A and B are shown apart, each in its own frame.
Chain A
Amino acid sequence: MHKLSIKQLSEGLRAKQFSSRELTQFYLERISRYEPSLNSLITTTAERALAQADAADAAIAAGNAGPLTGVPLIQKDIFCTRGVRTSCASKMLDRFIAPYDATIVEKLDAAGMPMLGKANMDEFAMGSSNETSWYGAVKNPWDLERVPGGSSGGSVAAVAAGLAPVATATDTGGSIRQPAALTNLTGIKPTYGRVSRYGMIAFASSLDQAGVVARSAEDAAVVLQAMSGFDPRDSTSVDRPVEDYVATLDRPIKGLRIGLPKEYFADGLAPSSRQRIEQAIEVFKTLGATFTEVSLPNSPLSVPTYYVVAPAEASSNLSRFDGVRYGHRSESARTLEEIYKRSRGEGFGAEVQRRIMIGTYVLSHGYYDAYYLQAQKVRRLIFDDFKRAFESCDLLLGPTATDVAFKLGTNVDDPVAMYLNDIYTIAANLAGIPAMSLSCGFVDGLPVGMQLMGNFFDEARMLNAAHQYQQATDFHRQLPKGFE
């Protein structure tokens, strides 16, 4: 059952081949069987899932089923879920029971999707390997000695191992796309403002965007459809109709103009990964797409820009964790200042502390112009690069990551080396454009991802191209050994 697409699961449910309770039970059993080797979940919510499954079965029996009714999912533990622990993989929120639901939780609950559990992640979504989680590292099902990528490492490990058909994820600098690439999944970060951020624990508010990781573009499209749309509770939500991502999947892509940013194919990209991407380009050509080389001259500056902008916003957002209103409070604190300092010192892990300090530093008097203001100006240059590229192209194509998944522990003491993992993904967040990753083959049994980037609100076109590619290839259907 875990090999079926969401469409097939939905058809099976409507045809009464299996009930949502049976399907949910099936995934819960896979979770108890495989989870000990992966550590992909922080919390399993079996009771909640089965109650939702029963409600879905009733809706199906009554003829009120939508395309997702009864299909289970996993929520990244960054989304507030009322009555369920929402930890953001931090000791700070280890005992935090969210008092309200995130908008996307409300929407996907309303769509009838039983929530199997809450996915592990890098602490406060800060990381590219899922090794900063207070609940321990997540393992990549393709090789248990390797990282699944991050920050949405639990979401991808769970879906890649067939513990759920789909999972939500978030992407501030690549946290959907890089893990999807490392685990053979399809992951999409929509345009900034397309999906509500209400109830999604903030990391860097001008960059954060929610999305989905799935086993195909078709599966991603139907779930993204249900998540997207205007939300008055998010002040940066965009009031604009959502396109029909599913209806446009089958369009031929003949004549699609795809740009290849030359900076994305320069030194730094593993030759074996480059070769897989070049093969994918040939597949797109047989489908009728045309290719031109483009330049994003400021893209080498995207990592330095991000490591000013994101920590600056994070240091401000994370100031809310003060040990007073919710979250961890130090037991040894005797004064108010000690409550602040010790609760934050004990509650935040090293990577979160590093980013808070960088953010505090670049925003402090005397450094603001040199770092923060300069980074905002370079952000404009990066944005303008994309604007120029999309004058002559419909989509851009390049690598998602520099190489296949690396071994656990490789970069834990070298933050800069870790940060460079996101060299191809960060620019899309800085510009706000939609981007996705999908599998384009394997190197020594490990998945290689390629990235598609689109113009603002061009999710449908990206998903269409990805789906057409997946109709012509079967990389995305491969499952890791031991999890078949």
Chain B
Amino acid sequence: MSLTADQIRQVAHLARLELKPEMTDAYARQLSNIMAMVGQLSNADTANVSPMAHPLDMHQRLRLDAVTAPNLREAFQAIAPATENGLYLVPKVIE
């Protein structure tokens, strides 16, 4: 499994990562090596094996439908890059 610089740019776009242009080739080489190592998985016989997503066989717990969390908006917004009137600010999205 080999990844090209173009594939790296596409994956980086999907992950919303702006890569330094000079890193693209190194990433392509490193990720190709990693995917080659991962490729060993295809040799495993997994017919009739059910996938395991999680080590514990547990179900989502339910709780009473009551308000328990305190309102921490001010504390949370105090660490935001930009806020105004209790809202998070980003550049205009819709003209």
Using CB atoms and an 8 Å cutoff, list the residues of chain A in contact with chain B: 96-97, 99-100, 192-193, 206, 232, 235-236, 238, 298, 300-301, 303-305, 307-308, 315, 319, 322-327, 329, 333-342, 344-346, 348, 350, 353-354, 356-362, 364, 370-371, 373-381, 383, 414-416, 419, 430-433
User: Which residue from A100, A376, A380, A416 sits with its C-beta under 8 Å from B34?
Assistant: A416
Query: Complex Cα distance A334/B91, Å?
Result: 7
Contact (Cβ within 8 A) B90 A360: no
Contact (Cβ within 8 A) B14 A364: yes
Jot down 7 A-B pairs with beta carbons below 8 A, ordered by A: A300-B40, A308-B38, A339-B90, A345-B19, A357-B12, A361-B31, A432-B54
Least Cβ–Cβ distance between A422 and chain B, in angstroms = 13
Q: Which residues of B contact A381 (CB under 8 A)?
A: 44, 46, 49
Query: Complex Cα distance A384/B35, Å?
Result: 25
Q: Which residues of A contact B54 (CB under 8 A)?
A: 206, 236, 432
User: Which residue from B16, B20, B41, B58 sits with its C-beta under 8 Å from A308?
Assistant: B41
Nearest residue (CB) in A for B19 is: A345
Task: Decide: A301 near B41, CB < 8 A? Known: A357-B8, A357-B17, A431-B55.
Answer: yes
Q: Which residues of A contact B34 (CB under 8 A)?
A: 307, 354, 358, 415-416, 419
Contact (Cβ within 8 A) B30 A353: no
Contact (Cβ within 8 A) B37 A301: no
Count residues of B near A (Cβ-Cβ below 8 Å): 51
Nearest residue (CB) in A for B13 is: A341
Contact (Cβ within 8 A) B52 A379: yes
- Count of A-B residue pairs with CB < 8 Å: 169
Query: Complex Cα distance A394/B4, Å?
Result: 48
Query: Complex Cα distance A308/B39, Å?
Result: 10
Q: Which residues of A contact B63 (CB under 8 A)?
A: 232
Query: Complex Cα distance A329/B63, Å?
Result: 36
Query: Complex Cα distance A377/B76, Å?
Result: 40
Task: Decide: A99 near B11, CB < 8 A? Known: A324-B90, A377-B49, A378-B46.
Answer: no
Contact (Cβ within 8 A) A383 B55: yes
Query: Complex Cα distance A193/B31, Å?
Result: 32
Q: Which residues of B contact A360 (CB under 8 A)?
A: 11, 14-15
Q: Which residues of A contact B78 (CB under 8 A)?
A: 99
| Top-10 shortest CB links A-B | A432-B55, A345-B18, A376-B51, A377-B46, A329-B81, A341-B18, A380-B52, A340-B16, A99-B75, A360-B15
Contact (Cβ within 8 A) A361 B11: yes
Beyond the given A324-B81, A344-B15, please list 5 additional residue pairs across the A-B interface where CB-CB is below 8 A.
Answer: A192-B55, A305-B41, A329-B82, A361-B7, A378-B49
Least Cβ–Cβ distance between B91 and chain A, in angstroms = 5
Cβ-based interface call for B2 (8 A)? no
Q: Which residues of B contact A380 (CB under 8 A)?
A: 49-52
